[in-house]
Structure 1
């Protein structure tokens, strides 16, 4: 059985759209064909995780059954009990498969990696979110069938964006009016074509044509700058890699959102002109937004509330600084247990802390500081370069220069 790689080539989109036509016709006439969407999802999951990737398919099925049992079990339990220890245990158990997969290289147990499959991170984020919102009471009850549709929503299953259960439920239950659906289809088509330009044209230029060439020059000049490996070639690599990373990932996200729109689902956007950001906090409100907002709501805010509730740190500014460190350190570990991912997370935490110090300074001395289009342009330029340097760390190229021969 041949395997399909999501959004990898034009033939994939033809197959995707043609097979979605019955569901789209149903939505046009005001009816969601859930049975057809379920069969369609099962078929594409089989094409993606079957064949030579059958072991990933087996892990996916086992994972979904495991998470469904945790969510339904907690949904039933919390109606009669409210033990914090049980809630924490379930969050840990929900995140455990992902943690084991991420830790497998560091603890030299490659068999743990066999627990993983394409998209395990995004499914874990969804499940942990549902458990936490059940605890908060913002989710009153979980429907097993809807939870499975939410978890296995195919356009976003492998790399997001990360939707929220309640928002997804609204789209799933309420079929849009015909005019609204036609608007949504129009938006979806535009996003898919924009994704083609981003991923297959601009991303191809930066990632396939330019990046290997620049990387070759980086290695050729690894003895530059007194043996540190720093060179103008490395600076070029930093910018080329940063632009490739954006256009490739933003293109993929546009595909996922666009196909979601064809299915009558308003999956949230993942990027909003991030390189126009005027500071690092603004950047994280624009870059991989579904992930950064997930970490904000379910790591940063909850850690902040825990510290303040138990009076572990009295100074509110120190609480937020500590929360930033925890938030981005976890994000770094999520990317992988290697020094450059962890440093990447700590770098962004430090940048946001410095940015907050600067914003408080501006608030005290705002009238004494210039504020015009030139200072705004300078802010964008500084932020862009800080972000690009962080992506250089993230790329692992420094690891190649300094620790490999």
Structure 2
């Protein structure tokens, strides 16, 4: 589906939301999601999607509102099955030792689909106060506003948004239009300006200089932010034009973060909340309960690294993404350790005063920014290309 077709689809949904026929909006949203997904698929992709969708729906249906039911085996089985299918569909290079995952299937948005499915299966027992049907399931899982790049919305918020679809007031109309236009400009006009100059392969040219390195270092994070945040703005704006005004915000000035933990509270916010809720919190709780107090600090380190392993693996299928997740986890651990050291060395009061000093905040922002930019080089290309480009660059600089 090209951008013109999507804009026509979004416009059609908005017109329906404003019309007396808005009671059919949920069905239209379901159809739009299916149309958007199928427009990128061949028959093999469609077959894979058909396999990927039923189990979470059927299990959620069986568990819906059943607070008295012990769902352990069912939930575990479905989650394991979905994770297995996800790994097969995504063709994770670092688990494909025997080359069994070499297939042409590509399901658009499968990473976001998986997270919404796990949320439904795990929380189905506590969502009985909300309506649930096959139509709502497909509309939620394949929503055209969140299919490709999020944000990851909880089912409760989705239902609330659907119930409030209708003509927005003047403020909502202007806000939605502004977000959509701003997103279009950022994602499709500004972001591409940074893409080619910031490719890490540019460092492999014989005449590459440290200026080229700085362009890659700062340009690629700029591209990622403008492209990702811009696309999110476009989707939030399109939804607001339908009166669907509660898609979660996904970015909050991430490059002004004061440490790596703060960065992940500002970057891809809905993803961070999901990982915290479904990976970090349950894993840390189990590890803390299973160990003596003297091991609790180590268990928190293990939990952070495990959570950020998921962060890295979810972002991409090659080893460089896993390394990115791990080094981000190390950054979070280092941030917490530095904060604890300040409190023990200076005392809580003086440490708090130091945190509020503008010069200290500026230093923290600069350090975090450069750590983040260096880590994001790992996302610029595959690991071999990154290593080769830097080897050629450093070799040419030494030779020069």
Same fold (TM over 0.5): yes
In structure 1, the partner of 2:322 is 342
2:63 to 74, 98, 106: 74
Deviations 1:239-259 (A, max 9, x none): 111111111111111111111
Alignment of 1:151-300 (within 5 A): 151-175=141-165, 181-208=169-196, 210-212=197-199, 215=200, 217-221=202-206, 233-265=212-244, 266-300=246-280
Helix, strand or coil: the match of 1:158? coil
Distance 1:320 1:245, change over 3 A: same
Q: Distance in 1 between matches of 2:23 and 2:143?
A: 12
Deviation at 1:43, TM superposition (A): 4.8
Cα pair 1:102 1:113 within 8 Å, conserved: no
Alignment of 1:19-168 (within 5 A): 19-26=12-19, 33-39=22-28, 41-43=30-32, 45-46=34-35, 48-50=37-39, 53-75=42-64, 78=66, 81-106=69-94, 107=96, 108-111=99-102, 114=105, 116-134=106-124, 137=126, 143-144=132-133, 145-168=135-158
Cα pair 1:75 1:141 within 8 Å, conserved: no
Distance 1:291 1:52, change over 3 A: closer
Deviations 1:332-382 (A, max 9, x none): 122234221111011011000010011112223152774521111111111
Deviation at 1:46, TM superposition (A): 2.7
Alignment of 1:378-393 (within 5 A): 378-393=363-378
Cα pair 1:129 1:164 within 8 Å, conserved: yes
In structure 2, the partner of 1:227 is none
Q: Distance in 2 between matches of 1:142 and 1:15?
A: 29
Helix, strand or coil: the match of 1:211? coil
Deviations 1:68-122 (A, max 9, x none): 123213338x5553153333222222333212223453412245562x4101111
Deviation at 1:54, TM superposition (A): 4.1
Choose 17-26 or 40-49, whichever is displaced more.
40-49
Pairwise CA RMSD of aligned residues?
A: 2.9
* TM-score computed with the length of structure 2 as normaliser: 0.84
Cα pair 1:122 1:157 within 8 Å, conserved: yes
Choose 235-244 or 390-399, whichever is displaced more.
390-399
Q: Distance in 1 between matches of 2:58 and 2:85?
A: 14
Structure having greater relative contact order (Cα 8 Å, sep ≥ 6): 2
Distance 1:378 1:201, change over 3 A: same
Q: Distance in 1 between matches of 2:47 and 2:178?
A: 36
Q: Distance in 1 between matches of 2:334 and 2:343?
A: 14
Helix, strand or coil: the match of 1:156? coil
Choose 236-245 or 344-353, whichever is displaced more.
236-245
Distance 1:36 1:355, change over 3 A: closer
Q: Distance in 2 between matches of 1:68 and 1:111?
A: 28
Q: Distance in 1 between matches of 2:130 and 2:82?
A: 18
Q: Distance in 1 between matches of 2:297 and 2:103?
A: 40
Structure 2 unaligned blocks of 5 or more: 393-400
Deviations 1:103-159 (A, max 9, x none): 453412245562x41011111100101122235x36656612333321122111122
Structure 1 unaligned blocks of 5 or more: 225-229
Where in structure 1 do 4 or more consecutive aligned residues deviate above 6 Å? none
Aligned residue pairs, count:
380
In structure 1, the partner of 2:285 is 305
Deviation at 1:221, TM superposition (A): 4.3
Deviation at 1:401, TM superposition (A): 4.3
Q: Distance in 1 between matches of 2:201 and 2:79?
A: 44
In structure 2, the partner of 1:376 is 361
Deviation at 1:53, TM superposition (A): 3.1
In structure 2, the partner of 1:363 is 343
Distance 1:56 1:32, change over 3 A: farther
